[in-house]
């Protein structure tokens, strides 16, 4: 897809001025960001180690265990001993938000519906200090092996990995909390260099993703316990993959859309969103474009 086609899609959702702002954000070089794995280390220890390696970083106001790396790339960080032994995990800031919104507690029975490579699975395990029971599903065999590798490396416990299509999960299962970070077009992660989109992105991918998202979300609602929480997220900023699906299933299942704490995530650049309770993040040098909504099953 060329830039003009992308602009046309975005303008149908946002109009010309906001689209111009989005495109500008996609052209910025995004900082590498990391999460301290609190199952194996602490933020103070990690910062001290980064200081000794000449790494400049920023703290993140809404997450005490996250850092923005200002002067080093992923390759440098991957060569650090604390990365190789699982004390830190490279993860986009946007990707860290859904697990925080879940408000994971010890004793929760949790489903991570499309879990690989395990960023949010291991984050939820850390937030519960390995005291939650997590089922992590991944359809792709190779990606499910990567998921298992990361779980083991980060010493996340009480996690069962299922290599299957989540849409086929038996509905005798039931969960207290479900995270559906759905497969999507990746429109929020697009990078534009030299006026070219360097990611694999197409109208066909949007349509295919949308159908899978709806099927997965429908399954999640069915196996969520009444009165409990479902967090739906995508790294897309398209209404077709986000607001449109949520509004459709809200009516079908009488779901309650819960307000995400705006004060906690103050300072994050946002895009206009039809669902006022949701969080729709604008892509820029700090954040991938990302959609997160918190639902309760009545």
Active-site residue list: 235
Which tokens sit at 59?
Answer: 């703290």
Q: Which residues pair with 136 in a beta bridge?
A: 112, 161
CB atoms within 10 A of CB 145: 15
């Amino acid at each position: 897809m060329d830039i003009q086609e992308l602009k046309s899609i975005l303008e149908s959702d946002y109009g010309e001025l906001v689209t111009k702002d989005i495109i500008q954000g996609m052209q910025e070089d995004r900082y590498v960001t990391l999460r301290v794995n609190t199952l194996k280390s602490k933020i103070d220890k990690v910062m001290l180690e980064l200081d000794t390696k000449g790494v400049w970083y920023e703290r993140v106001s809404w997450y005490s265990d996250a850092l923005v790396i200002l002067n080093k790339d992923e390759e440098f960080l991957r060569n650090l001993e604390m990365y190789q032994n699982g004390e830190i995990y490279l993860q986009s800031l946007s990707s860290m938000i859904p697990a925080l919104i879940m408000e994971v507690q010890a004793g929760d029975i949790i489903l991570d519906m499309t879990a690989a490579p395990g960023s949010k699975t291991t984050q939820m395990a850390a937030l519960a200090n390995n005291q939650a029971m997590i089922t992590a599903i991944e359809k792709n065999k190779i990606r499910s092996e990567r998921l298992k590798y990361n779980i083991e490396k980060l010493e996340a416990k009480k996690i069962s990995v299922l290599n299957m299509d989540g849409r086929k999960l038996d509905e005798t299962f039931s969960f207290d909390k479900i995270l559906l970070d759905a497969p999507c077009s990746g429109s929020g992660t697009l990078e534009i260099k030299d006026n070219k989109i360097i990611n694999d992105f197409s109208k066909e991918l949007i349509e295919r993703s949308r159908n899978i998202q709806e099927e997965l979300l429908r399954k999640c609602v069915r196996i969520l316990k009444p009165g409990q929480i479902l967090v739906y997220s995508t790294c897309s900023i398209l209404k077709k993959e986000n607001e449109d699906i949520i509004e459709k299933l809200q009516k079908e299942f009488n779901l309650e859309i819960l307000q995400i704490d705006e004060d906690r995530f103050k300072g994050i650049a946002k895009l206009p969103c039809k669902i006022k309770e949701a969080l729709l993040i604008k892509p820029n040098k700090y954040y991938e474009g990302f959609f997160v909504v918190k639902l309760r099953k009545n």
